[in-house]
Amino acid sequence: MEEGIGQHGSSLPVDNVQALAGRVGSDIPERYIRPERQNEYAHSTSSSDDFAGVGSIPIIDYNKLTDPNFSDEEAAKLHSACQEWGFFQVVNHGVPEDILYKMKQDTEGFFKLPLEEKESVAQLPGHLEGYGQAFVLSEKQKLDWGDMLFIGTLPSHIRQTRFWPTNPHSFSETIDKYSIEVKRVSDILFRKISENLGLEQGKLYEMFDNGVLALRFNYYPPCPRPEEVLGISPHSDATGLTLLLQVSDFPGLQFRRKGRWFAVEVVPGAFVCNVGDIVEILSNGRYKSIEHRAVVSDRNERISVAAFLTLKDGDAVGPISELVEGEELLYKSLQFEEYLKMLFSSKLEGKSNIDRMKLDA
């Protein structure tokens, strides 16, 4: 990956939403208006009312997951979370508080910079890394109410440092330290998930150990008509696992369950984790990725950092043979490069990426 993970796709340039939000008032451009949001209501999983029997998103205690005295019980909870929810929150993960604090502080600092400074790391034509947008493929498609910075961070040889901000001055160092910590947490999750699927504990760990870790920094500015726009369109992540750090206290992440949208509670210091499409495919559907989206506020900005753990060029995205024995093969196999090209040539649209990988598609 001499040109980084961003070489596999591109996105059409569109207006910077942070700048747009500061000048449009209540007159939102039509391309941001989402008719499907009319008459919507998102439920809270922390409510005492158990809407549709949903309950609360599982909480996985990383300390217990790695403690021989509690690991079996916690691994069972992780299995249930992956199988029944596709979403869970990880607490007590051991990432030093100073690293989390610096990541939040530097991310906020970057998005506070003047537009000209942020655009010093803007995307280049034909490349997805950098500051800008993703999955904008036509001049007519609806747009998300948000901006992003997308960079590959691990392994170190994939880094395209021309897209790494130099302001705040500590940002690059913070990104490096944070990536190492997220990788450590994901290593254990992959080991336990592998074991839960009936594979050797190291199977998924080995598959993702030398894979790509990419960070997407999301900025959703306030919108005077938040009920009519989306911060990011409904989608499932095309990755193996995603670990999300909610920088802002304001909730905005929602997931679809039993036909309804539910808000994800902000748990201070926790990672919101979700199963990605690649794990659904590798497991031949035993674990399923889940559709999610971001909404915005009329008063508060919202910032988050998503860490995507995925495979590497040369790997195959397809069901693991041990998990197909005696069962129907549900998904096709593609080389990782082809998988990414397919992904980045399509707009975010529910679980359309998984649908394209199904053998009966």
**Average pLDDT in the chain:** 93
Helix axes 171-196, 97-111, angle to 10 degrees: 120
Q: What percent of the chain has pLDDT over 90?
A: 86
pLDDT for 54 beyond 90: no
pLDDT tens-digit map of 274-298: 999 999 999 999 999 999 999 999 9
Band (pLDDT 50/70/90 cuts) for residue 38 is: confident
pLDDT tens-digit map of 211-232: 999 999 999 999 999 999 999 9
Q: What percent of the chain has pLDDT over 70?
A: 95
- Nearest one of 233, 247, 238 to 305, comparing CA atoms: 247
44 — phi, psi (to 5°)? Answer: -105, 130
pLDDT at 264: 95
Helix axes 202-209, 171-196, angle to 10 degrees: 150
Q: For residue 339, how far is the Cα from the chain centroid?
A: 17
Q: Residue 325 belongs to a domain with what CATH number?
A: 2.60.120.330
pLDDT at 201: 86
SS3 (DSSP) at 144: coil
pLDDT for 268 beyond 70: yes
pLDDT tens-digit map of 128-181: 999 999 999 999 999 999 999 999 999 999 999 999 999 999 999 999 999 999
pLDDT tens-digit map of 66-111: 999 999 999 999 999 999 999 999 999 999 999 999 999 999 999 9
Count of domains observed in the chain? 1
Q: Domain range holding 11?
A: 5-357
pLDDT tens-digit map of 298-347: 999 999 999 999 999 999 999 999 999 989 999 999 999 999 999 998 88
> Is this prediction's pTM over 0.75?
yes
Band (pLDDT 50/70/90 cuts) for residue 40 is: confident
pLDDT at 46: 45
According to DSSP, the β-strands at 59-61 and 87-91 are parallel
Report the 10 Å Cβ neighbour count for 326.
Answer: 5
pLDDT at 43: 53
pLDDT at 55: 61
- HSE-CB of 359 using CA atoms within 13 angstroms: 11
